[in-house]
Amino acid sequence: MGTLHLVATPIGNLEDVTLRALRILAESDLVLAEDTRRTRILLERHGIAARPRSLHAHNEAARSAEVLAVLAGPGSVALVSDAGTPLLSDPGERLVAAALAAGHDVVPVPGASAALAALTGSGLPALPCALLGFLPRRAGERRALLARYRDRPETLVFFESPRRLGASLAALAEGLGDRRACVARELTKRHEEWGRGRLSELAERFASGVRGEVTVVVEGALEPTVDLEDVDARIRDLLAEGRSPRQVATDLADAVALPRRELYARAHALREADGSP
């Protein structure tokens, strides 16, 4: 069987590539990249003759069939991201699933990661952490996401468009509270910039937007702020409307910072305590 390698590439500075990554890129029968132009710069810099093929959201299904044919050879295929580690807010999940389902090996080749670089340089706790990718563009979806994480202790890591940065920082301050945060821009590049402060301060600083790649790190909740009496009152209201404990847990999951299973258990206990059927 063949091997699909998930090869991390530099997030800016072309020197941030491992010797193993260069060897695998040179030896692979096929190199796949979302943006072949950016990958070609890396390959040419290190004297690798491979000609990358595109793999993006619009052709991943069709390209997967081509990859499986190469792997059945058996051959070796390398998947790279535009920058950093593949699959983190980049295409490739369907390809990996297809390769595994066909019995091929999938081997990560670790290296640069904007999320880890921003997290470790932010000055905020590195663990526990949660990488959430890009914030939803729709306000309702964004509010629901932030509500789920508002009372959780994990340091949160987001990617963000440079044009939406100021507005997104303001939305984070509104949804999470004005907690400490860090904006890491153009990591490892000539114009690398770090902004540290409260979300409101950073929102004002970057209100007009920026250029380049942006990663945002936000402090987790320092203390739980769940009012259990309020939660129980909301559960009783929903039970009184005829909802089952399972339906109550589903309805409150996005609005209350408690695990779904705990909401279900509380709803079940309250229904029995109140003598409901």
The answer to whether the CB of 238 falls within 8 A of the CB of 276 is no
Q: Name the DSSP letter for residue 161.
A: -
How far separated are the first and last CA of the chain, in Å rounded?
57
Name which of 64-78, 99-113, 236-250 the model is least confident about: 236-250
* Predicted local distance difference test score (pLDDT) of residue 33: 94
Count Cβ atoms below 10 Å from residue 73 Cβ, excluding itself. Answer: 13
* Predicted local distance difference test score (pLDDT) of residue 276: 59
* Predicted local distance difference test score (pLDDT) of residue 158: 97
Q: Residue 32 corresponds to which tokens in the numbers above?
A: 């796949």
* pLDDT(129) > 80: yes
Q: Could you tell me whether strands 53-54 and 129-134 are parallel, antiparallel, or unpaired per DSSP bridges?
A: unpaired
CATH of the domain spanning 3-112: 3.40.1010.10
Give the SS3 label for residue 53. strand
* Predicted local distance difference test score (pLDDT) of residue 84: 93
User: In the beta sheet, which residues pair with residue 154?
Assistant: none
Residue 132 CA to residue 129 CA, distance in Å, equals: 10
Nearest CA among 54, 20, 12, 16 for reference residue 36: 54
Please, which pLDDT band fits residue 212 given cuts at 50, 70 and 90?
very high
Nearest CA among 13, 21, 9 for reference residue 83: 9
Domain residue spans in the chain?
A: 3-112, 115-218, 228-273
- Regarding the domain with residue range 115-218, which homologous superfamily does it belong to in the CATH classification? Tetrapyrrole methylase, C-terminal domain (3.30.950.10)
* pLDDT(254) > 80: no
Half-sphere exposure of 6 (CA within 13 A, CB side): 21
Q: How much is the pTM?
A: 0.77
- Which runs of consecutive H residues, i.e. helices, occur in 72-198? 93-101, 114-121, 139-149, 165-176
Please state, rounded to an integer, the average pLDDT across all residues of the chain. 92
* Predicted local distance difference test score (pLDDT) of residue 224: 56
